[in-house]
Amino acid sequence: MEQLSVKPAEGKLGILVVGNGAVATTFMTGVLMARRGLAKPIGSMTQYDKVRVGRGADKRYLHYGDIVSLANLNDIVFGCWDVYPQNAYQSAVYAEVLKREDIEPVRDELEKIVPMPAAFDKNYAKRLDGDNVKPCTNRWQMVEMLRDDIRRFRKEQDCNRVVVLWAASTEIYVPVNKDIHYRLQDLEQAMKADDREHIAPSMCYAYAALIEGCPFVMGAPNTTVDIPAMWELAEKTKMPIAGKDFKTGQTLVKSGFAPIIGTRCLGLEGWFSTNILGNRDGLVLDVPENFRTKEVSKLSTLETILKADEQPDLYSDYYHKVRINYYPPRNDNKESWDNIDIRGWMGYPMQIKINFLCRDSILAAPVCLDLCLLIDLAARAGRYGTQRFLSFFLKSPMHDYTRGEEAVNHLYQQHTLLKNAIREMGGYEADEEID
């Protein structure tokens, strides 16, 4: 197959993270420790997963980096924005995700990562009270200040490329409004008119990133880039975008376990999911308007895997409920329970219980790395707009809902999309079907 024109990953890759909390500092610390040989990047697909290329006698299983040119961990430079002024070392210690002995070896590097003032609107995250905030009088000024930040970071750190990653809190739910969110010119007009109801701060970050030639990844369930106006901007700037919401714990299990029920042709009566979480994310999600954003994201998974129209006897009327409860004693150690009521032969009821005691940021950190490296790869390969092959890493994968497109939530189908994209960008045949 003809080799695609993929630019090599030369020079420094700047990763600008929106947020300097538990997820961001765990991600940064892990990368810094891994490149010193003091930790393993376990959980990272780009560092461990292998993809088959070729068939028959030509079949080989190769790491991603042996198929395509990926940025090396040694070439990554970090920057961030946050409403709190503490540097990445102070924030990592405060988060209490990592042990001090896993932070201290890279203290000197972490202390140099000082958050730029955030573009912030307290109405979108009422539980946050930080004062490291830009003195913006309107949304358009927010955009201009963020663009300045990106340009300055790129120049000061001598970066060849920059990726912007949202690892901050979940904003209140912003419903898609056709009059504002469907056309780029309407979105820009709303920003300039300081429409604070329909323009979330995250939209200003995404707009600034794309205008400055930076791929953008939305790691929360915010509406942000999941609107036609942003798709139009991504097309215009020839930049890739991806979102939304890191798929780390319960939804990862759901997207992997639901296919077992579907493949085995078992019926589903109901799926009840609940979580307890005590970190800053849990604090923000304790506000109903913020939880609504997360709920929409988490509820979307099952319906595209266990489809009533394809198997009405099995999935026509199941009940799906999701709950998140703020519980400070657990801090970053999230616990999720899933109660699944299923039907077997002749309709006889059975139950499945899943109790996942996970570490939220430990699961999110490798997802952050993979998304940044792969969206940088996509940009160098000339891919732009929504990157559906990254749906493997996301709870509520972006799709063109204006044309009735359905998101792919089935974990193994998502893995096939990912592998095929790696093959294609490496000049091999995309030879797996999504059934």
pLDDT of residue 300: 76
pLDDT of residue 305: 94
Distance in angstroms (rounded) separating the CA atoms of residues 30 and 84? 21
- Tell whether the model's pLDDT for residue 291 goes beyond 70: no
Enter the tokens of residue 340: 């699944």
pTM listed for this prediction: 0.94
pLDDT of residue 29: 98
CB 267 within 8 A of CB 342: yes
Helix 184-192 / helix 201-211 crossing angle, nearest 10 deg? 120
Question: Average pLDDT over the chain, rounded to whole?
Answer: 94
The 3-state DSSP composition of the chain as helix, strand, coil percent (nearest 5) reads: 45, 20, 35
Tell me which residue has tokens 């009735």. 404
- Tell whether the model's pLDDT for residue 299 goes beyond 50: yes
Q: Where are any strands of DSSP class E within 148-200?
A: 159-166
> Model confidence at 5, in pLDDT bands (50, 70, 90)?
confident
Distance in angstroms (rounded) separating the CA atoms of residues 363 and 343? 32
| Omega of the bond leading into 59 within 30 degrees of 0 (cis) | no
Q: What is the tens place of the pLDDT at every residue in 37-77?
A: 999 999 999 999 999 999 999 999 999 999 999 999 999 99
Q: C-alpha distances in angstroms, 416 versus 23, 195, 290, 407?
A: 27, 41, 33, 14
pLDDT of residue 1: 37
CB 284 within 8 A of CB 127: yes
DSSP 8-class letter at 20? -
Q: C-alpha distances in angstroms, 193 versus 222, 231, 281?
A: 21, 21, 30
CB 431 within 8 A of CB 55: yes
Enter the tokens of residue 174: 């912003």
- Tell whether the model's pLDDT for residue 346 goes beyond 90: yes
pLDDT of residue 359: 93
pLDDT of residue 288: 73
Distance in angstroms (rounded) separating the CA atoms of residues 241 and 218? 8
> Cβ–Cβ contacts within 10 Å for residue 359, how many?
18
Higher pLDDT among residues 203 and 294, named by residue: 203
- Tell whether the model's pLDDT for residue 2 goes beyond 50: no
CB 139 within 8 A of CB 199: yes
Domains by residue range for the chain, with CATH: 12-246+361-425 (3.40.50.720), 250-357 (3.30.360.10)
pLDDT of residue 127: 81
> Model confidence at 293, in pLDDT bands (50, 70, 90)?
low
Distance in angstroms (rounded) separating the CA atoms of residues 101 and 86? 20
What is the β-pairing status of strands 60-63 and 50-53? antiparallel
Q: What is the mean pLDDT of residues 108-120?
A: 97
Share of the chain above pLDDT 70, in %: 96
Alpha-helix runs per DSSP H in 131-183? 139-156, 178-181
- Tell whether the model's pLDDT for residue 119 goes beyond 50: yes
pLDDT of residue 129: 84
Q: What is the tens place of the pLDDT at every residue in 348-386?
A: 999 999 999 999 999 999 999 999 999 999 999 999 999
pLDDT of residue 435: 78
For residue 196, give the 3-state DSSP assignment: coil
